[in-house]
Structure 1
Amino acid sequence: MLSGLKSIFRPKSAAIPPRLRPPITIRNGTRRTSATTTTRKPKLERQSPRTANYSQNDTVIIFPEEPIGISAEDGFGHLELTIGDELGDRGEYKLARKLGYGRYSTVWLARPTRGRTKGDSPYFTAMKVLSQHATGRLGSHSDELRVLQRISNPTTSHKGKDFCTTLWDAFVVDGSHQALVLDLMAGDVKALRFMYKNGVMPLAMTKTIIGQMLVALQYLHDECRVVHADLRPENILIANPYPHVKLKQMLALEKPEYSPPMTVFGREVQPIVSKPLLSAPLFPFFQLAEHQWLFRLGDFGEAQFIDDKVTDCTMPDGLRAPEVIMGHPWDEKIDIWALGCLTHEFLTGRSVLDDSDMPSARDDRDLTSLALMIRSTGQRFPDDMLDKCNPEKVAQYFGPDSSLEDLANYSAPASIVSCLQTHNPEMAHHPHELESAAAFISRCLALRPGDRPCAAELLKDPWLMSEPVWGLRYETDPANASKEETLGAMVRWFSSPYLGVVSYMTLLLGTAVFVWELIS
């Protein structure tokens, strides 16, 4: 091992289970016995092969977890880890559970070992281990490490830091994999939405999430000069509600679960099944006190410094800002656009750019998105904005009068107000909430970036300030309120007439269960 690099300490007791040799899923129905049976590289996917077009010469490998065994040259290069591995220069972090995975990393629950100094970080942490490909992108195509170091500044007094994940440590594993030690989180909002019918989240919870994300964005944009650029449900994380004693008890009873073994390029692999804390048996209890949950903005893999961008912005489909699609100069206002899209999605269960009602699918996703933006918002792209866009994009999509070509072939989607009224029964009976929520979303979805309000302005929007339902309504600037004020505002809300007798009794029951779990 090279000097100065931190490595893996794998005890004998943590050996990886023996591998078997099952058949691997192949598109043409044949069995692959080596990496040289076809002349083309395999196409990798997570969904069913029926969702994409492949030729009979393509080998399709379906991975239940991260694609172990695929090289960094092919865009992956994940490090194969297992429960019990000890990471760090002194082996101070021991992997206790696999929490999740993505294209560029795996995330593990890490517990301390005797090699870790007291007070270095929380007792349990999340260990994000980047793939070899993602590690190679750091600096040239990704600013994740620098951004995390900037936003984790211990000297800041801005409360937005409390709503962003904190970087506690960083080191290199096996010479080519960056490891990041972060706050342990319970899960993400994408998984949380599955608890609600049609993915429509309660109004109060939506305000909680959006309000806390705005405080986080105010901190990122104004103090850190960072744009997140990947604001989506899976990157809004739920703060860990478990005391470490309860986590110890859960882990003591838990055994790792492995995916069925498979062969990749002649090598047998068997990834560990991911188990986020949200899936733990006791977690549904915390649903009773949902307004007490804290959310944090995470995954800064696409984040960039506003004044020192290292690469172009992409953003996920359905959340891409118009300036990103059109090659217009972009800044932190793309996060505001994404936040407006998410607000609509949380309250209706549908994307604001939903094209499912269209009679036929369009091949050009950019054209479809632009048409839906115009139809949904009732706006048109201003000439001064188009003048700053990519000329080829403008010529491709817009006519001489600055109108979008082929717009007449796109049916007009429901307005934001009518969509809220149709898909959110809770809001349908509260006209004032309906109108103010629609106005909030419309402010975020201004086509011209300069017309969108900043995070600080949105924090004062009437929709968020109408009721203290998300714990951040103060006489002072909410971004500078203390944790005591935050909890105090939540307690005041719980004791207010807004909650009602039924919800108040639910809170008492939840508190009793929580106390019982602590003492049992």
Structure 2
Amino acid sequence: MWDVLHSRYQVVGKLGNGAYSTVWLCRDLVEHCHVTVKVCTQLGIPVERELSALKHLNSLPASEHIGRTFIRTALDHFELPADPKSSNPAPFPCFVYKPMATSLYQFRKLFPQNRFPKQLLKSILQHVLLAIHYLHIEAKMIHADIQEGNILLSLDDPNILEEFEEEEWRNPSPRKIDGDRVVYLSRLMHMHMTYDKYGPPILCDFTEARFGSATYTDLIQPDVYRAPEVILAIPWDEKVDIWSVGVLIWDMFEGTHMFKTAGGPENKYRTVNHLAHMVSLLGPPPVDFLKRTEVDWIPWKYFDKQGEGNWIGKASVPEDSLEQLEENLEGEDKAQFLAFVRKMVTWKPEDRCSIEELLKDPWLN
């Protein structure tokens, strides 16, 4: 702690860690402000994707598209020297960002029943949709991992950062010695429950981002948010981001996942349960959609190839509907909300509405 990275960024405290990185609050000794430094502790394709995506975003010309302001771009990037004792002595890539407050996932926990109020949800969605529109239209990118943990509230109050630093100085975070390393416990920033204490939500984390091709076939998205074309090995495009927003809305407003995906003796995620509940809520998939697969056996493990594409998977189809599962609204408001969701959550990607259409939707306005 308090080391200076890259002869410029003095470490103040640990903010968190993920599968591939640790994140630190630092003081920029040149610009005299706080920054966040993400240190990639494991190398691999996700880190390479993020570096490529951030370089691509920073290379784009200035734009008047408001969505650009809701995308988190890097202020700087550098490498820390490799550990000579490591079996893989490669340098550690580091990304420098403007500090953020908290993720939508953490922020939602402050609200009753883990649900955002309707007006707050609408505001969040408008910002997120504008960010995605910029990615798709001007950056020609697919985010491919839109979830609450990758949407951070911006931080307009610098006092929160000063308080964090002062608290770390007065009451240092717990740590332990692990061989020749010191492992620090993360310190949480103070969170306000009122949305007006923060700036707009910012779309972050480009470790799954794609650009440069029209379609892709590899596996993306957290399993519970995975679009049907991804599950069924059908070439996918930017419309996977539209699907993600549709299912994400359910988390934020209903406090639970849209699709029941767990099953089996261990009650864990199973593709067969996920698809069965899609059939329950969306109806059976069109056969011509299933035939787009690039791995012929995958769809027909769950759907009848010879007939109308009826369900034959080894899990029962629940008797559910979005109308039954939605618990917050009534009457016309509920009907408009579900119509809005259904514009994003469809079997065929081409049936999902465009960002422009979604931003004009009557429920959102």
What's the TM-score once normalised by structure 2's chain length?
0.88
Residue number in structure 1 paired with 2:103 = 188
For 1:457, the equivalent position in structure 2 comes to: 357
Name the structure with the higher strand share: 2
Displaced runs of 4+ in structure 1, greater than 6 A? Answer: 308-311, 358-364
The residue that corresponds to 1:509 in the other structure is none
Distance 1:186 1:363 in 2: 32
CA–CA distance in 2 between the matches of 1:335 and 1:348? 20
Which residue, 251, 257, 262 being the options, matches 2:165?
251
Change (3 A) 1:446 1:407: farther
Q: Secondary structure at the match of 2:194?
A: helix
Q: Is the 8 A contact 2:301 2:313 kept in 1?
A: no
Counterpart of 2:88? none
The aligned runs of 1:90-101 (5 Å cut-off) are 91-101=7-17
> How far off its partner does 1:417 sit?
2.5
Report the counterpart of residue 376 of structure 1 in structure 2: 281
User: How far apart are the structure 1 equivalents of 2:92 and 2:214?
Assistant: 25
* Matched ranges for 1:54-453 at <5 A: 83-88=1-6, 91-113=7-29, 116=30, 118=31, 123-134=33-44, 137=45, 142-152=48-58, 153=60, 155-175=62-82, 176-243=91-158, 247-254=161-168, 255-259=171-175, 261=176, 267=179, 270-277=182-189, 280=190, 283-284=191-192, 287-290=193-196, 293-305=199-211, 307=213, 312-355=218-261, 365-377=270-282, 379-389=283-293, 390-399=295-304, 400-401=306-307, 402-406=309-313, 409-413=316-320, 415-421=321-327, 424=328, 427-428=329-330, 431-453=331-353
The amino acid across from 2:351 in the alignment is: D
1:385 partner SS:
helix
- 3-state SS of 2:97 partner: strand
Alpha carbons of structure 1 residues 375 and 269: separation in structure 2 relative to 1, 3 Å: same
Quick check: 1:142–1:311 contact (8 Å CA) kept in 2?
Answer: no
Question: Scaled by the length of structure 1, what TM-score is found?
Answer: 0.63
Aligned residues of 1:185 and 1:237 also touching (Cα < 8 A): yes
**Matches of 2:180 and 2:3 in 1, distance apart?**
20
Distance 1:97 1:85, change over 3 A: same
CA contact (8 A) 1:318 1:353 kept: yes
Structure (1 or 2) with the larger CA radius of gyration: 1
3-state DSSP of counterpart to 2:310: coil
1:196-216 Cα shifts (integer Å, max 9, x gaps): 122111111111111111000
Q: CA deviation at 1:361?
A: 6.4
Structure 2 counterpart of 1:433, which letter? D
Give the gaps of 5 or more residues in structure 2.
83-90
* 1:224 partner amino acid: A
Secondary structure of residue in 2 paired with 1:181: strand
Q: Deviations over 1:437-496 (max 9, x none)?
A: 11111111011011111222211111112xxxxxxxxxxxxxxxxxxxxxxxxxxxxxxx
Cα separation, partners in 2 of 1:434 and 1:359, compared to 1, 3 Å: farther
AA partner of residue 158 (structure 1): H
Equivalent AA in structure 2 for residue 253 of structure 1: E
Tell me if the contact between 1:205 and 1:290 (Cα under 8 Å) persists in the aligned partners.
no
Taking a change above 3 Å as real, the CA distance of residues 236 and 364 of structure 1, as seen in their structure-2 partners, is closer
Unaligned runs of 5+ in 1: 1-82, 466-520
Matched residue count: 351
* Percent identical: 29
Per the TM alignment, residue 293 of structure 1 is displaced from its structure 2 partner at its CA by: 3.9
> Aligned-pair distance for 1:314?
2.1
> For the residues of structure 2 that align with 1:127 and 1:364, how far apart are their CA atoms?
34
